[in-house]
Amino acid sequence: MKATKYKVTLYQRSGTYYASYTLPGQRKKAKSLKTKDPVEAEAKRIELETEINADLPADPSAVETAAAQPDTDKTFSEFAEWYLGWRKTNFPASQRNAVNKINAVMDHHFSLGAGSLCIHTDELEGQWHSTNYEIGDTLIFPALTVHQALPNLTEDRLRVSLDNRYQKLGDTLSEHMLEPHLNIFNNLTWEDVYKDWKTDDLKYYWENQDNRIIPRDLSYSEKGFSEALELAKAGDKRAHIAMNRAIQRDPNSPQAQAAREALTLA
């Protein structure tokens, strides 16, 4: 047997960091860390997690899972076969196919992160899972999976990642997914992308596919921006950053005008 390490996770509400954790036999707890600084919040999270684990006995139901590591030269099919065998050996039958599906779309809120939207993770059940990623590692998950990155706590290094999105041929597409990524911010066109291509073979390949195209749904983005406007008027510094982004992105847009008014009232 080995002791379970009880995890403490971070989330934000109106810029303030909170810690979330669940102890044996108890409901999930949330604690305000009384800071909006990500570095200070991470330090307090580590301190709290260390304190919790020092006070708790080893979990007698924790199972030592010293399985052999997979051969890194395996094909994907071989790896999948290895993983299913490892899972069958190391997990009780009741947990082998356990999932945390909620069959719902969570309420979205303003965020400074990717997509400018987030959900309040304290409203979720279950536990976060992560690992120590290295250069070249790939994480694959369905589009509706709740996911986030931890703060970059280095003082002099950027963290760069690449997001790729895939779907089956013939599936419904939103019209903006057929344009260069983030082209609304930089006016990038496919002609710009294809300028130095040597052949035309793969240019506009989707035009030969039978995909149903639908208008982009901006309702979530509009809700997040409205929330950011109210926070900016109340003096929220993170919302001020969002307002300045909107102004720089397209100074003549209705959003930019609303952002200027919000900053004036702050």
Q: How many residues does the chain have?
A: 266
pTM of structure: 0.57
Distances (CA, A) of 159 to 121, 133, 138, 182: 23, 12, 15, 19
Token pair belonging to 17? 């960091």
**The predicted structure's pLDDT at residue 72:** 47
pLDDT band at 67 (very low <50, low <70, confident <90, very high): very low
**99 has pLDDT over 60:** no
The H-assigned helical ranges of 91-218 are 183-186, 190-194
Query: Using CA atoms, how far apart are residues 190 and 233, in angstroms rounded to an integer?
Result: 39
pLDDT in tens, 11-51: 887 778 888 877 766 667 788 888 887 777 877 888 888 88
